[in-house]
């Protein structure tokens, strides 16, 4: 499996606000990207779909993932997250694709499901399966046919589509005897998978590289931290996580699960500092703990305990710093150390979410664990608020800095990293 991180040169000189800018400044086109409407699909493959007795139930399973009962389908859920950023004319075209091709795929898949359940082994059910298999070819192109900015914004719709195409074809390969596929048809399906995996990898990696270079070349010193983290977080979460998944399906059975290796990142709340800028400029493969956990024996080091340091500002409790200890015993102190602390042992749970309040600094940080327990550091004062959480992911790492002299030791900014839930206990 090729999960080699993208490396982009960071030797360019970043312009200052006072510099004359000969080009447009980078505009963050995906400010709210920390969600994953395809997470249920990724979660199923990571856990291993398990033995499904026949092709009919297998199709039913796919239908349930992409068209859940009493919910919008996964494409519509994604569109609800991004539609505010898309120009109206383009938005109407995308809605037309969802009401047209996507609905037609659902109808054809329901027909295949019915045929395979009611007429297993028949020529008619074979023909229905292969008709849809060929109909799905190049459907993904519909979500990469716009201008570069729109294509970037609807990347999750593109990856959602290929996570339908490839499992459908793979299911046919694995249930070939039940469906009655010939060796020629099985090879055709394998070729479709190989071709799409190659195209998708090239498309996503190129998009990531281009957007990263655009951000680094057209950001100011003040905006570069969050611009780069937004590109990195968005492309890793909505792009490279999918690449990792489809490469696994390409090379393994749908029944076998796998351990995901992609780590994605959030932007900084509330004030990026010099230390955080250095972190944002660090290339993917050079990211280290405590922002990106270490990979030990094939699995990521997990956070074992947190100690929060409270910094008093005018006698009001605020976030000063934090000590993070991982399960292998490595520990890191970020920010300001004080004698006033609060702490928590994770006890095999994970950090499900982090809520923060502040305005130009971090007043309060509230960690919620997967077992329901909370760790509160500081006390909220400003109304500005941010919640860090992604569907079916946990917070795997933390970055915090208090190197802003005017804040007298209070934490200026905080950011987190995310990893897919992988331990099925």
What tens digit of pLDDT does each residue of 202-256 get? 999 999 999 999 999 999 999 999 999 999 999 999 999 999 999 999 999 999 9
Give the single-character DSSP code of 240: I
Phi, psi of 218 (to 5 degrees): -125, 15
Q: Tell me what the pLDDT averaged over the chain comes to.
A: 92
pLDDT tens sequence across 379-414: 999 999 999 999 999 999 999 999 999 999 999 999
pLDDT over 90 percentage in the chain: 88
Handedness of CA 372, 376, 379, 385 (dihedral sign): negative
- Would residue 21 count as lying in a domain? no
Residues 164 and 59 in one domain: yes
Tokens 């040169």 belong to residue: 9
Judge if 216 and 141 occupy the same domain. yes
d(CA 144, CA 139): 10
% residues pLDDT > 70 (the chain): 94
Q: Which pLDDT band, with edges at 50, 70 and 90, does 37 fall under?
A: very high
Check whether residue 242 and residue 309 sit in a common domain: no
Asked if the peptide bond before residue 290 counts as cis, ω within 30 degrees of 0, the response is: yes
Per-residue three-class SS string for 48-110 = CCCCCCCHHHHHHHHHHHHCCCCCCCHHHHHHHHHHHHCCHHHHHHHHHHHHHHHHHHHHHHH
Residue 22 lies inside a defined structural domain of this protein: no
Q: Round to whole Å and give the CA distance between 101 and 75.
A: 12
The secondary structure of residue 309, as a DSSP letter, is: E
The mean per-residue pLDDT over the stretch 85-105 comes to: 96
- Give yes or no for a contact between 409 and 311, defined as CB atoms under 8 angstroms apart: yes
- Please give the C-alpha separations between residue 280 and each of 16, 136, 222, 271, 298, in angstroms, as whole numbers: 17, 39, 12, 13, 25
Instruction: For residues 217 and 284, state if they share a domain.
Output: no
Residue 302 CA to residue 322 CA, distance in Å, equals 16
Are residues 145 and 233 both part of a single domain? yes
- Mean pLDDT for the stretch of residues 296-300: 96
At residue 32 the predicted structure's pLDDT band, cuts being 50, 70 and 90, is confident
State whether 290 and 401 are in the same domain: yes
Q: What is the number of structural domains in the chain?
A: 2
Nearest one of 310, 303, 316, 318 to 352, comparing CA atoms: 303
Beta-sheet pairing, 385-388 with 351-357 = antiparallel
Structure tokens at 92: 């109407």
Contact between residue 327 and residue 346 where contact means Cβ atoms under 8 Å apart: no
Q: What's the pLDDT band for 423 if we cut at 50, 70, 90?
A: confident
Residue 8 lies inside a defined structural domain of this protein: no
For residue 360, the model assigns a pLDDT of: 95
72 with 206, same domain: the answer is yes
Residues 62, 162, single domain; the answer is yes
Tens of pLDDT along 111-123?
Answer: 999 999 999 999 9
Residue 142's domain comprises: 39-251
Whether the per-residue pLDDT at 12 is higher than 80: the answer is: no
Tokens read off for 167: 């499992």
Q: Is residue 387 part of a domain?
A: yes
């Amino acid at each position: 499996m090729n999960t080699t991180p993208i490396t982009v040169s960071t030797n360019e000189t970043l312009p200052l606000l006072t510099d004359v800018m000969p080009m447009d400044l980078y505009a963050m086109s995906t400010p709210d990207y920390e969600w994953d409407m395809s997470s249920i699909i990724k979660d199923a493959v990571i856990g291993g779909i398990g033995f499904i007795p026949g092709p009919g139930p297998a199709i039913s399973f796919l239908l349930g993932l992409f068209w859940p009962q009493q919910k919008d389908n996964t494409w519509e859920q994604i569109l609800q997250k991004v539609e505010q950023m898309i120009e109206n004319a383009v938005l109407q075209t995308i809605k037309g694709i969802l009401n047209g091709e996507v609905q037609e795929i659902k109808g054809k898949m329901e027909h295949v499901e019915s045929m395979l359940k009611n007429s297993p082994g028949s020529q008619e059910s074979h023909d229905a399966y292969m008709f849809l298999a060929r109909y799905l070819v190049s459907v993904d192109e519909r979500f990469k046919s716009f201008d570069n900015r729109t294509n970037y914004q609807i990347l999750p719709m593109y990856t959602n589509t290929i996570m339908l195409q490839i499992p459908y074809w793979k299911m046919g390969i694995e249930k070939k005897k039940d469906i009655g596929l010939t060796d020629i048809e099985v090879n055709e399906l394998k070729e479709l998978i190989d071709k799409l995996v190659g195209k998708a990898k090239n498309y996503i990696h190129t998009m990531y590289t281009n957007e990263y270079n655009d951000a680094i070349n057209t950001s100011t010193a003040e905006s570069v931290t969050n611009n780069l983290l937004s590109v990195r977080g968005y492309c890793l979460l909505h792009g490279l996580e999918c690449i990792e998944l489809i490469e696994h399906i390409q090379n393994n059975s749908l029944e076998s699960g796998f351990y995901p290796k992609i780590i994605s990142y959030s932007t900084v709340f509330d004030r990026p500092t010099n230390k955080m800028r250095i972190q944002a400029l660090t290339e993917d493969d050079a990211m280290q703990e405590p922002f990106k956990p270490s990979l030990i024996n094939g699995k990521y080091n997990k956070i074992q305990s947190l100690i929060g340091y409270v910094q008093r500002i005018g006698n009001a409790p605020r976030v000063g710093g934090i000590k993070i200890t991982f399960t292998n015993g490595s520990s890191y102190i970020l920010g300001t150390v004080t004698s006033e602390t609060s702490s928590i042992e994770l006890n095999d749970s994970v950090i499900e979410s982090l809520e923060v309040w502040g305005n130009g600094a971090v007043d309060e940080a509230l960690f919620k664990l997967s077992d329901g327990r909370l760790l509160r550091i500081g006390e909220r004062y400003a109304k500005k608020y941010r919640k860090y959480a992604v569907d079916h992911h946990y917070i795997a790492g933390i970055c915090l800095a208090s190197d802003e002299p005017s804040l007298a030791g209070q934490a200026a900014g905080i950011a987190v990293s995310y990893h897919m839930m992988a331990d099925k206990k």
